[in-house]
C-alpha cells in the first residue's frame, strides 16, 4: 500500500491551493453576503484546466486521475465551496456522464466546450416531488418524429442560470417506472426553456441554484444519451462518481475550518497564554485532525477505486456520508474555538459552517447514502 501522492498529483494540489488563495479568497465574504456567483474566477478555473480535469485530452480535458481531482476539490473548497460545487458538477456529473455514455457527435459538440471550461454544465434530476425518490420523475419527454417534446420542472439545479448545456432526466414511458426514464442534452437557447427563481440559501450562497421550467421544449433525438430507458441508470452511475467530488468538498470545508481554528488558537490568548495551550482547545483540535484524516482516507480510497476501474458505488457513498458529518462537526467546533469572533463573517468559519450543511443533502442525502451502503452490504 502506498500513501504517497505522485509528483503530478502534488503539482495539481499545489496549483489549486495557490489559485484558491490568490483568486478566490478575496471577495469570498462579499460574494456570500450578496449571493453572487464567482463568474470571473470560474472562467480562470476553466483556463487552468479545473473544469474538465478527468476528461481525455482529445476532448479538451486534463486527462488526470480522480485522485488529482479530489486533491484539487479539497483545496478549492477550503476557500470557496460555492466555486467548488460548480467545479464538481461540471467535472463529475456533466463531463463524466457525457464522456462515459455520450456518442462521438455529442462529445465533439458538447463535451469539448464543457471540458475546456468555455461553458458550464448542469445536471437536472431533482424535481419538486422527486428529490431522494428520484424514480418519481414527472418531467416527460414524448417522442414526436425526429425530436422529443419535453415538459416539466426541475428544482435546486446547480449552475441553473450560468450553465449553457443541461443534462436533463425525464420520463419517456411512465408505465415502465425507472426503466422508462431517459437522459437528454438540452441547450439553454431552446424555445420553451425558462430559468426560474434563484434560491436564497443558507450556505454556498455564491453558487447559482435555480428551478428550471420546460414547456414543449423540442429536443432532437440525437441529443438523447444512450437508449430510451437508460436515463435512471445514467443518473445513478453518474451520481456514484459525483459523490466522490462532494465528499472531497466536505473534506475541504472541514480542513479549511480546522486550519483557521488551529492558527487562531495559537494567536488568541486567554488566562495568560495562547488558547492552544489549554487542554479544552487541544482536545478539540485533536478530534478535528483525527476525523479529517479519517474522512480524507475514505475520499482518497473511493477516488483510487474509481481510478483502478473497481466498483466504487458503496465507497463513494461511505466517503460522502462520513466526510459530510465531519464537515458539520468540525465547522461547528471551529466556530466554538473562535468564540465570539467565530460568530461574525470576517473570520470565515461561520460561512464554512453554513456551507457544510448542504454536503449532507445534495447528490443524495446522508439517509440515501445509508441506503446505498446497506444495499451493497446485504446484496
Ligand atoms: N448505482 C448504480 N445503479 C443503481 C444505484 C447506484 N448507486 N442505485 C440504484 N441503482 C439501480 C438499481 O440497481 C436498479 O436497477 P435495476 O432495476 O436495473 O436492477 C435501479 O437503479 C432502481 O433502483 P432501486 O430499485 O434501488 O430504486 P429505489 O427507488 O428503491 O432507490 C435510490 C433508488 C438509491 C434511493 C435513488 O433514487 C437515489 O439515489 N436517490 C437519490 C437521488 C440523488 O442523489 N439526487 C441528487 C440530485 S443531483 C444533485 O444534487 C446535483 C447538484 O446539483 C449538486
**Span 154-187, pLDDT tens digits:** 999 999 999 999 999 999 999 999 999 999 999 9
pLDDT band at residue 67 under the 50/70/90 scheme: very high
Residue 1 inside a domain? The answer is no
**Judgement on whether residues 285 and 303 belong to the same structural domain of the protein:** yes
The pLDDT assigned to 354 comes to 98
Q: Whose CA is closest to atom 51 on ligand 1?
A: 363
Nearest atom of ligand 1 to the alpha carbon of 85: 54
For 181-231, write each residue's pLDDT tens digit. Answer: 999 999 999 999 999 999 999 999 999 999 999 999 999 999 999 999 999
For 282-299, write each residue's pLDDT tens digit. Answer: 999 999 999 999 999 999
Task: Decide: pTM greater than 0.95.
Answer: yes
Of 105, 120, 135, which residue is a domain's last? 120
Pairing, β 209-220 against β 224-225: unpaired
The pLDDT assigned to 55 comes to 98
The pLDDT assigned to 81 comes to 98
Q: Is the pLDDT of residue 26 over 90?
A: yes
Listed residue (169, 157, 232) closest to 199, CA to CA? 157
The pLDDT assigned to 1 comes to 85
Label residue 126 exposed, middle or buried (CB < 10 Å: 0-12, 13-18, 19+). Answer: buried
Find the Cα–Cα–Cα–Cα dihedral 168, 207, 298, 327, rounded to 10°. Answer: -140
**Judgement on whether residues 24 and 88 belong to the same structural domain of the protein:** yes
| Percent helix, percent strand, percent coil in the chain, to nearest 5 | 60, 15, 25
User: What separation in Å is there between the alpha carbon of 129 and the centre of ligand 1?
Assistant: 15
**Judgement on whether residues 114 and 127 belong to the same structural domain of the protein:** no
Ligand 1 pocket test: pick from 135, 181, 243 the residue with the most ligand atoms within 8 Å of its Cβ.
135
The pLDDT assigned to 32 comes to 98
Ligand 1 pocket test: pick from 134, 160, 207, 370 the residue with the most ligand atoms within 8 Å of its Cβ.
134
Nearest atom of ligand 1 to the alpha carbon of 122: 53
The pLDDT assigned to 255 comes to 98
Q: Is the pLDDT of residue 379 over 90?
A: no
User: What separation in Å is there between the alpha carbon of 311 and the centre of ligand 1?
Assistant: 15
Residues with CB under 6 A from ligand 1: 85, 89, 123, 125-126, 132, 134-135, 158, 178, 232-233, 236-237, 239-240, 313, 362-364, 368, 371-372
Of 87, 120, 153, which residue is a domain's last? 120
The pLDDT assigned to 60 comes to 98
**Judgement on whether residues 251 and 347 belong to the same structural domain of the protein:** yes
Category of 146 on φ-ψ map: left (φ > 0), alpha (ψ -120 to 50) or beta: alpha
Q: Is the pLDDT of residue 101 over 90?
A: yes
Average pLDDT, the chain: 97
Q: Whose CA is closest to atom 3 on ligand 1?
A: 236
Residue 44 inside a domain? The answer is yes
> Domain range spanning residue 313?
240-378
For 238-282, write each residue's pLDDT tens digit. Answer: 999 999 999 999 999 999 999 999 999 999 999 999 999 999 999
Q: Would you call 363 a catalytic residue per the annotation?
A: yes
- The vertex-303 CA angle with 297 and 307, nearest 5°, equals 135
Amino acid at each position: 500500500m502506498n500513501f504517497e501522492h505522485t509528483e503530478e498529483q502534488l503539482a495539481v494540489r499545489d496549483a489549486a491551493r495557490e489559485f484558491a488563495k490568490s483568486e478566490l479568497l478575496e471577495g469570498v465574504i462579499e460574494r456570500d453576503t450578496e449571493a453572487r456567483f464567482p463568474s470571473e474566477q470560474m472562467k480562470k478555473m476553466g483556463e487552468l484546466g479545473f473544469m474538465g480535469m478527468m476528461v481525455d485530452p482529445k476532448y479538451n480535458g486534463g486527462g488526470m486521475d480522480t485522485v488529482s481531482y479530489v486533491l484539487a476539490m479539497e483545496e478549492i473548497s477550503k476557500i470557496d465551496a460555492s466555486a467548488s460545487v460548480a467545479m464538481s458538477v461540471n467535472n463529475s456529473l456533466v463531463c463524466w456522464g457525457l464522456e462515459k455514455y455520450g456518442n462521438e457527435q455529442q462529445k465533439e459538440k458538447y463535451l469539448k466546450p464543457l471540458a475546456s471550461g468555455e461553458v458550464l454544465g448542469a445536471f437536472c434530476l431533482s424535481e419538486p416531488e422527486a428529490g431522494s425518490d428520484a424514480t418519481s420523475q414527472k418531467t416527460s419527454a414524448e417522442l414526436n418524429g425526429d425530436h422529443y417534446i419535453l415538459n416539466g420542472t426541475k428544482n435546486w439545479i446547480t449552475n441553473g442560470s450560468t450553465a449553457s448545456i443541461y443534462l436533463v432526466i425525464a420520463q419517456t414511458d411512465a408505465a415502465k417506472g425507472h426503466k422508462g426514464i431517459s437522459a437528454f442534452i438540452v441547450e439553454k437557447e431552446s424555445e420553451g426553456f425558462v430559468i426560474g427563481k434563484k434560491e436564497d440559501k443558507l450556505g454556498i450562497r455564491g453558487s447559482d441554484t435555480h428551478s428550471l421550467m420546460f414547456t414543449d421544449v423540442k429536443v432532437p433525438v440525437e441529443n438523447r444519451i444512450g437508449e430510451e430507458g437508460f436515463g435512471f441508470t445514467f443518473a445513478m452511475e453518474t451520481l456514484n462518481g459525483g459523490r466522490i467530488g462532494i465528499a472531497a468538498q466536505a473534506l475541504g470545508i472541514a480542513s479549511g475550518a480546522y486550519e483557521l481554528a488551529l492558527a487562531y488558537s495559537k494567536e488568541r490568548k486567554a488566562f495568560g497564554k495562547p488558547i492552544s495551550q489549554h487542554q479544552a482547545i487541544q482536545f478539540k483540535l485533536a478530534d478535528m485532525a483525527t476525523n479529517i484524516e479519517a474522512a480524507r482516507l475514505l475520499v482518497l480510497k473511493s477516488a483510487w477505486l474509481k481510478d483502478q476501474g473497481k466498483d466504487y458505488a458503496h465507497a463513494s457513498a461511505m466517503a460522502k456520508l462520513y466526510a459530510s458529518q465531519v464537515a458539520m462537526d468540525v465547522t461547528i467546533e471551529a466556530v466554538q474555538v473562535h468564540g465570539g469572533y467565530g460568530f461574525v463573517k470576517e473570520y470565515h468559519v461561520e460561512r464554512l459552517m453554513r456551507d457544510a450543511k448542504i454536503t449532507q443533502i445534495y447528490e443524495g442525502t446522508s439517509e440515501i447514502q445509508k441506503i446505498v451502503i446497506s444495499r451493497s452490504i446485504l446484496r
